Structures are given as structure tokens and as C-alpha cells.
Amino acid sequence: MPSRTLYDKLWDAHVVHVEPDGTTLLYIDRHLVHEVTSPQAFEGLKLAGRKPWRPDSILAVPDHNVPTADRDKGIADPISRLQVETLDANCREFRLTEFTMQDRRQGIVHVIGPEQGFTQPGMTIVCGDSHTSTHGAFAALAFGIGTSEVEHVLATQCLWQKKSKNMRIRVEGELGRGVTAKDLALAIIGRIGTAGGTGYAIEFAGSTIRNLSMEGRMTLCNMAIEAGARAGMVAVDDKTIEYLRGRPYAPQGAMWERAVEYWRTLVSDPDAAFDAEVEIDAATIEPQVTWGTSPEMVVPVTGRVPDPAGAPSAVKRADWERALNYMGLAPHTPITEIRVDKVFIGSCTNARIEDLRVAAAVVRGRKCAPNVKLAMVVPGSGLVKAQAEAEGLDRVFREAGFEWRDPGCSMCLAMNADRLEPGERCAATSNRNFEGRQGAGGRTHLVSPAMAAAAAVFGHFVDVRNLQ
Amino acid sequence: MKPFVQHEGLVAPLDRANVDTDAIIPKQFLKSIKRTGFGPNLFDEWRYLDHGEPGMDNAKRPLNPDFVLNQPRYQGASILLARENFGCGSSREHAPWALVDYGFRVLIAPSFADIFYNNCFKNGLLPIVLPAEVVDQLFRETYATEGYRLRVDLPAQSVTTPSGEVFRFVVDAERKHRLLHGLDDIGITLQHVAAIRAYEQRRRQDAPWLFVNSAGVENS
Ligand code: SF4
């Protein structure tokens, strides 16, 4: 057999049928479902008199619309409530596993999959959500799909796909103190652009990636879609396997041994060919802050807001001008002079226990700056929340003036009550700084959890590397 | 799904790169559990001067006169001309639903985001990739000529300008076939049930843990 990349191996293992033009019917092992992109799919399924092909492949959870405070009072917004109730009803009708809003395992779909061991190496994993790329951290082929495809997977356990090209992003060396996987992700997007990975499946490789924790790898793969790639992935190593050991949905006993033996093969062959290669020196990466309305509009914290006059093309110049206008920023402003109104620590990018620990370490013994109107921590899942509380992190945040909330997507996309008001500026650990994403007219700066925590304390961006 | 063969229509130019699906249809409208009715909220934050919420009477809302789709000369447009990386961001299929509901049948851009591109085909909306210079030219001609229309021919894979200039585009054979005949993907897949079952049987031998659920119970 010729040398293959990790992506090639994952792809080959799931081919059911191939059309003459290469369009492939691919088998899907795991289907994650949330309330926003599934109602129309279930409706279509029912109208056609069909049933889910493999109910055991599905895990459902409401996350986008759920309130993050006073949860026992239910959902106030009737339209949001109907959407969550619709998910509950569909899961009941088809006997699907659902972590309902009251379940302590409930959380953001991309946090709970790995946490439960539902996400495993070698699987194809889909969800009606673009950040499904997160699960690629486990050497799975995981990608976001639209609602028609959600219905298709429900009905057939398969999807029609064209194979992507292979890209390897190799990062070598040690990340500096205070520099995290989030900074690495933003720096990569700044380098290759938000369309740089379009048409590719990206494998993140190199010593820096091997040294990242599973949480860090998830953060990185989460943002592959922000670089245009539907799927990002990292090869299996001991960390992958140790992370999964003993998790509720992970294989047990003899089955575990068999699985591990297979998982060990999920690495790119040494001489496998990639269609594109990018090399990054970890030592050159500084903490990053986005200044615009696309994740590629990013600079190091030591930098300044760029001048559209220096943009590489006319289209880009117009884009930058529009972005600065929307963000209310003047060219050449030092990043550390940008003041924030709100701070959001959460989302499927950065709401895992490790993220909360890093943020708490910055906040400990300090207070939020007076100009910060709201600083909130929204844990990625009920179990992350419980773990953080067991470690006393909730007290650290509360004492500093942060709100400590219940798990969900929250202000990452502001479908629930958590949002920015027009003109408000936010340091956010989420993944998208699009216009209006965190609330109409809201201004988002994407940063790491440590950088967000520091912005809360100082009221403006600071270089976390300078903190004690 | 509605088949797509030929289409001729008025062109509207949306002159921005990286138009994301949050901009195409903001999240507050994603709370709907239906597939239709998104057209009035297409590009909501750019199109209206006030903040839109579901349930509002959109006919009564103040329009932003500067937004291109509100200009009289582009009323009735069915072909949207856009810049690179159109449809990036969230996988929401509400984006193509809103474009179709508004009346668009064709999108032309130098590049599209993958998930969005794929979602368009499931909804009878044809996304056409043309080289950046050609898209530039089409933008210039659209601005210069009121009532600028293009003719799109899927079987011939061509876009024809009013002056008769023809640009060819590429589309996967399988996608083209399904769109031309308005075929339903699930219907096609169900013709392969035997292959799916055979795959599952093989896989169950090689990797049985994939078929065991949380309770350690094997599923059929
Ligand atoms: S946290 Fe944000 S990006 Fe992640 S799934 Fe929720 S809405 Fe999407």
C-alpha cells in the first residue's frame, strides 16, 4: 500500500461507494446534534416516514439557546424555548441519547463529545455545526454539515463527499511563556488567511503540537474552520489514549485493548505526500489579539492597529476600512491602549478546565477594572463547571468580580440573553469576531483565556507575559 | 429540490470579501424551526436601519438606502455577484435558505467557503466560481450598465454577458447531474442500502467497539 496521510487513512476506512467523478458515499460513525440545526432535519425525516438509521450513533444536547443563569426557571424567550423543546421531543420520539438542559453532563456539543469519550480516534464525526473540526484533535475525521446533510445522516448513516486535499501545518519549537494554543491558532489564521485552508483537510504536526495538551489540540482544531478548512486533525499519541481511558463512552476491557491497537496506526506515514505544507516556528509567536471583523485580522499584543493604506490589495483595503469603522478603531493605535467594556471567557474554543485554570491564575487576588461592565465565565459543560468548583476556581473568579455561569454557547453567538449592546467592546475567548456575532453592533476582539482575564483586570489589553 | 437548467436574471453586486453566514442571516432568525420565510431577513443588519428580531413586520422597518439590495436598480435581482470566500463561518443552511427565499438562483464569486458551497447545491442554488479578474470585470460591467443581466447555462457550464462574452465554469459531474434533475440525495443513497449494510458488517468485524454504546450494549 502506498504511503498515506492520516486524512487518507480516515477517509479510506469509511468509503461505502464511489461515483465515477470521485463523489464518495462516506460512512458516519458519530452524529452530534444540537437544537438549532436539527429541527428541520427531523421534520424532513418524519415527513418522508423515515427513522434514524443508527440511534446509538447519536448524542444530542441543547447548547446554543440555553440560559446561563437561573436555569431552573426555564427559558424565558418563547422561540428559544420551542427550539429546545423540539429537540427534546425529537429525541424522545426516536429514543436518542440527549443530555437535556437539566442534566449535569449538558454543555457545548464540542466540549461534551470528547469529555464523554463519545469522540474517538478513527471515527467519522459530523454535526450541524462548523466547529465540529474540534474533534479532529483525536485523529478523527470530523466536520460540520448543513441541515440537509443532518437529515441525510439521520436517514442513511452516510454522506456524499468529495475528498479534500491534504495540508500539513508543522509547528516546531517551544511556545513562549504565556503563549497558548489559541495564540497559535490565531497566528496561523493570520498567516494563511481565512480562506487559506479552503478545500483542504489540515493535519497539525510537529513538536509543538505533540507538546500541547488534548485541550490545546482541541482549541487548535476548533479554529481550523476559521482558516477555511472543514477538518483539522492531530495524529494519535499517548496523550490521546490517556485522555480517553475510562471515559463513559470509551471502549472497555478487551475492546479497549483492540481499539488502542488500531488507534496507534492513526498517524501519517513518514513519507506521505501533502498537497500543501506550512512551517511555523513556535518561538516567533506572541499573544495575539484580533482588531477587525474576520479572524485573519489579527496582530501580536505588542503591535498596533494596521493602516488600510498598507493593505495588500484594493479589495483588502476596503475591507480593512470597513472593519476599522465597525470596530471604532483608528489606524496605528497600540493594541494595549484598546479598552474593553465586557469580557467573555467561554465557547467551544476555550471553555475547558485547562482554559479556566489559566484564566483563574491571572485573575487570582486581583479585581476587574472599574470600566469593565461585565466579565463572565461560562464553563463548557456541567462537568467542567463541577471540576472548576471542586478546585475553587469559581471563588477566584467571583472574588475578582466575574460572573460564574451555567454551561452553553452563551455570548459566543448571543442566541440566548447574553450579548453585547451596540458599540460595546469585548475581549472574548471565542472563535468569531464577525459583525454582530456577539450582539448587533458589538465589537469583538478574539484572545486567549489568559489575555481575556488580563483585559478584565486592567480594563484594556495587556501583554500577559509581563504579568507576575 | 427544484431542478436548475438555465437561468437568466438581473445581477446585484455585493462588493465585500469574506461575507460570513452570520451576515447573510443573523442568529436571532435561526430560532425558527422551519425552512422557509428567511428571505425578508437576508443580510438583516446591513439591509435595515433598526435591529431585527423574529416576528417583526419587516415591511414596516426602515431600510438602509446605502445597502446595495435596497437600490431601485437591483430590485428583482436573482444573480448575486460577490467577492472571495463568500459564505464563510457557521454551517447554518439558513444562509442558502434565505438567499433562495429572497429570490437568488445563482451566486458568482472567486471562491466560496466549503460548507456553504455544499449547502447551496442541496437547495437548488448554483454557486459559480470564476477567476478573480473575471469577477472584477463583471462587477465593473454591472456598475456601468443599469439592468445588467447574465445568462447561466448549467449543461454548458457557461455564463454569458449581454455583449455575448462567454465564461466557462467548473462543477463536479455528480453535483451537476443532481442539480439538473432536482434529485434528492437521500433517495439516491437509499439505492445503496446493500452497500451500506455490507460496509457495516465488515466494519463490525474489524472495529466492533464502534458499534457498542455507552452502556456496553451492542446495537443493531
Ligand atoms: S460555542 Fe460558539 S462556536 Fe462553539 S458551538 Fe457554540 S455557538 Fe458555535
Instruction: Tell me: pLDDT of B214 over 70.
Output: no
Q: Do the Cβ atoms of B99 and B24 come closer than 8 Å?
A: yes
Interhelix angle A39-47/A78-94, nearest 10 degrees: 50
Residue B215 touches chain A, beta carbons under 8 Å: no
Q: Among A17-21, A24-28, B60-64, B210-214, which is the least confidently predicted range?
A: B210-214
Q: Cell numbers at residue B69, please?
A: 439590495
CA angle, A393 then A396 then A398, to 5°: 105
A234-245, pLDDT tens digit by residue?
A: 999 999 999 999
Which residues, including other chains, have CB under 8 Å from residue A467's CB and lie 6 or more apart? Answer: A178, A362, A454
Cβ separation B88–A228 shorter than 8 A: yes
Q: Which of A407, A389, A393 is nearest to A453 (CA)?
A: A393
Question: With an 8 Å Cβ cutoff, are B172 and A23 in contact?
Answer: yes
For A118, name the nearest residue in chain B, comparing CA atoms only: B214
Q: Residue B219 pLDDT > 80, yes or no?
A: no
Instruction: Please state, in angstroms and rounded to a whole number, the distance separating the CA atoms of residues A457 and A102.
Output: 33
Whole-angstrom distance, CA of residue A33 vs CA of residue A393: 30
**Strands, E, within A206-287: which ranges?**
231-233, 276-281
Percent of chain A residues topping a pLDDT of 90: 97
- A458: cell is 486592567
Hunting for cell 436571532 — which residue is that?
B28
Backbone angles phi, psi at B33, to 5 degrees: -105, 15
pLDDT at site B220: 37
**DSSP character string of B50-85:** S---TT--GGGSPB-TTSGGGSGGGTT--EEE--TT
Nearest-angstrom CA–CA distance, A432 and A32: 21
User: Considering only CA atoms, which of B102, B175, B109, B101 is closest in space to residue B136?
Assistant: B109
A1 to chain B nearest CA, in Å? 18
Contact A197, A227 (CB under 8 A): yes
Share of chain B above pLDDT 90, in %: 93
Instruction: Indicate yes or no: CB of B209 within 8 angstroms of CB of A255.
Output: yes
Amino acid of residue A331: P
Side chain identity at A288, as an amino acid letter? Q
Cβ partners under 8 Å of residue B130, min gap 6: B108, B109, B110, B138, B159, B167, B169
Res A271: pLDDT: 96
| Closest-CA residue to A164 (of B115, B175, B98, B60) | B115
C-beta atoms surrounding A63 within 10 Å = 29
Asked if A442 and A426 count as a contact pair (C-beta separation under 8 A), the reply is: yes
The CA distance from A189 to A406, in Å, is 30
| pLDDT tens figures, B143-162 | 999 999 999 999 999 999 99
Cα A251 to Cα B208: distance, rounded to the nearest angstrom: 10
pLDDT of residue A81: 95
C-alpha to C-alpha distances, A377 to A220, A346, B220, nearest whole angstrom: 20, 6, 42
Tell me if A141 sits within 8 A of A123, measured CB to CB.
yes
SS3 B16: coil
| Alpha carbon of B112 to ligand 1 centroid (Å) | 21
Say yes or no: CB of residue A385 within 6 Å of ligand 1. Answer: no
Using CA atoms, how far apart are residues A69 and A406, in angstroms rounded to an integer? 6
Q: Identify which of A8, A21, A32 has the alpha carbon closest to the alpha carbon of residue A160.
A: A21
The pTM assigned to this predicted structure is: 0.96
* Sign of the alpha-carbon torsion through B101, B102, B104, B109: negative
pLDDT at position B212, please?
A: 79
* Selected residues 400-439 of chain A with any CB under 8 Å from a CB in chain B: 413-415, 422, 432, 434-437
Q: Is B89 left (phi over 0), alpha (psi -120 to 50) or beta?
A: left
In the three-class reduction of DSSP (H, G, I as helix; E, B as strand; rest coil), residue A176 is classed as coil
Q: Which residues of chain A have pLDDT under 70?
A: none
- Angstroms from B7 CA to nearest CA on chain A: 24
Cell of A410: 452563551
The pLDDT value given to residue A417:
87
pLDDT for the residue A174: 97
B114 interfacial to chain A (CB closer than 8 Å): yes
Pull the grid cell for residue B206.
474489524
Using CB atoms and an 8 Å cut-off, which of residues 132-171 of chain B contact chain A?
none
Strand partners, B11: B79
* Contact call for A434 and B207, based on CB within 8 A: no
Assign A200 to helix, strand or coil: strand
pLDDT of res. B216: 43
Of A14, A301, A7, nearest to A169 (Cα)?
Answer: A7
Phi, psi of B99 (to 5 degrees): -65, -45
Is A294's Cβ below 8 Å from some Cβ in B?
A: yes
Question: ipTM above 0.90?
Answer: yes
Per-residue pLDDT, A468: 74
Enumerate the H helices of chain B as residue ranges: 21-24, 44-47, 94-102, 114-121, 132-144, 173-181, 185-189, 193-206
CA distances from A214 to A135, A355, B108 (A): 10, 12, 40
Over residues B200-213, the mean pLDDT reads 93
pLDDT for residue B217 is more than 60: no
Which pLDDT does position A455 carry in this prediction? 98
Overall average pLDDT of the B27-50 stretch: 95
